[in-house]
Amino acid sequence: MRVSHLALDDFRSWKRVVLELPAGPLVFLGHNGQGKTNLVEAIAYLSTFSSHRVSAEGSLVRIPTHEEEPAPARAFVRVKTVRDEDREQVVELEIVRGKANRARINRANVRPREILGLVRTVVFAPEDLQLVRGDPSVRRAFLDEIAIQMHPLYAQIKADFDRVLRQRAAIMKHAQSQLRRGRTPDLSTIEVWDERFAELSAKVSATRFKVASLLSEPAARAYDDVADSHRHLELSFDASIDRTIGTNPDDPGSGDLGDVEAQQRRLLAAFDRMRDQEIERGVNLVGAHRDDLGLKLGRMPVKGFASHGESWSVALALRLGCFDLLRLDGQTPILILDDVFAELDSKRRAGLATRINAADQVIITAAVEADVPPELDSHVLKIHWDPRTGSQVLLEEPGAKESAEPGLVESEDPSGSEGFEPSVSEGVKPSVSDSAKPTTTVNVESATSDSHESGAAENESSGVCESVKPDVLGGVDPATGEDAESKGERRAEIPASASSPKDEAFVPEADTVAAS
């Protein structure tokens, strides 16, 4: 499977962009702050509805700098996927700030969770070092991401678990407050919440345990491939319930973390045992929210004992193991390498480059071309910020040299893929440089020259660039709200119902030029 087209509106730093992604390894090349990571983040977000950089969905919607420009309320992500060379599918997601998201498959309205699993990705990024050195919550999220891609229905179980976890914690917090004021805690509904919390917690832990068990062998094998070490990587699942009450030899199922009913009984027993402590502290002390993924090299835990290089190798092995695991059912995920080659030495680069050959599609971001192994023979989309004309994305064919004066070069097939994007508007006047090599340029609108390129800058605003704007060719212009017929009339509000049969405002046809 691969993504052949990507369209974004008001996503992170990008006001509007449409790209046709070529087959084979693809590199988004550009200096820091150009918005290259935002492009791969959009693709990865469709896989699990989570970002490897931010936790709040609202941060994904573009934030303009200029006060006169109204802040967009929603962002759009749209991709066309290709399976088995001929099966095409368009997947669309509308991310609404502060409201429920909306989704469509081939322009038919669906529930957002129905698109989970349609686009599979594995992302390796500098933030993945936290898989080794960070808190258990990072490793729990890692297992959840894999589980959602393997079993999309798990996303609903996890969402229900998070909701019940918050509700039960609120009850404990209220009981703590009553106890401190000398009152008898009100626990009239706690048994109901205990039952529901135990059920969902057991399901979440059982799923994570199975994922960790399946991941153990491919991750260990990947570590041996990329690390120059005599020690082997070992994975284990550290369940909260085991730390709290241990195993019961009289209950044969108590030691099997995959046995949901047995774990539910153990959790209910733990709740009774820990009740006073939970009320005193006002928190949930046992449950899936305290699980962890154990990582060891030999007999030593990785966290606190592994060197910097070993930690990088473990993080890389976890992602490569995830890639190998997900492709076992015949659906090879898209491998996204977000600015990681600069962090790896030559041996780890070589090990990663070898694995790239097994992927149907690899998308790489890099600040300098020297960071990308030359043997990949990759296409290069250069993201160049020019405050006079706006951001431009340049596509270089393998082996092509950069032209001296990068300009807007006419595509051989500017119409792109039928049904995904329109043909070039007459308002665009491409010019071909005499010195230009076989290079295609897509002129897009970027919201920033100081984009949301790092997680630390997720709330920074960005300035609107001046860019060539093609006329709207039918549908609604997402930037101005105008349609081709009215040429100035305001766009109608998107209806509240996600099932409206005439929802033309949802991810309109883009009006930019596609790279070929």
Known binding residue 66? Answer is: no
439-476 burial, b for 16+ CB within 10 Å, e for fewer? bbbbbbbbbbbbbbbebebbebbbebbebbbbebbebb
- For 84, 269, 331, 397, the CA distances from 324, given in Å and listed in that order, are 19, 38, 10, 29
Is the pLDDT score of 275 beyond 60?
yes
Q: Structurally, what CATH architecture does the domain formed by 136-330 represent? A: Up-down Bundle (1.20)
Q: Which tokens hold the place of 336?
A: 């996204």
CB 240 within 8 A of CB 288: yes
Q: Residues 473-483: what's their mean pLDDT? A: 36
Same fold, 1-120+332-395 and 136-330: no
pLDDT band, very low/low/confident/very high, at 35 (cuts 50, 70, 90): confident
Q: Residues 117-131: what's their mean pLDDT? A: 93
- For the chain, the helix, strand and coil percentages under 3-state DSSP, each to the nearest 5: 35, 20, 45
pLDDT per residue as tens digits for the range 281-323: 999 999 999 999 999 999 899 998 999 989 999 999 999 999 9
pLDDT band, very low/low/confident/very high, at 481 (cuts 50, 70, 90): very low
- The CATH number of the structural domain formed by 1-120+332-395 is 3.40.50.300
Domain ranges of the chain: 1-120+332-395, 136-330
CA distance 423 to 416: 7
Is the pLDDT score of 195 beyond 90?
yes
Q: Which of 29-38, 270-279, 324-333 has the highest mean pLDDT?
A: 270-279
Known binding residue 32? Answer is: yes
Is the pLDDT score of 110 beyond 90?
yes
Provide the pLDDT for residue 385: 66
Least confident of 262-276, 319-333, 477-491: 477-491
Q: Residues 147-173: what's their mean pLDDT? A: 96
Known binding residue 331? Answer is: no
Known binding residue 33? Answer is: yes
Known binding residue 37? Answer is: yes
Question: Measured on CA atoms in the order 300, 305, 307, 310, is the torsion positive or negative?
Answer: positive
Known binding residue 158? Answer is: no
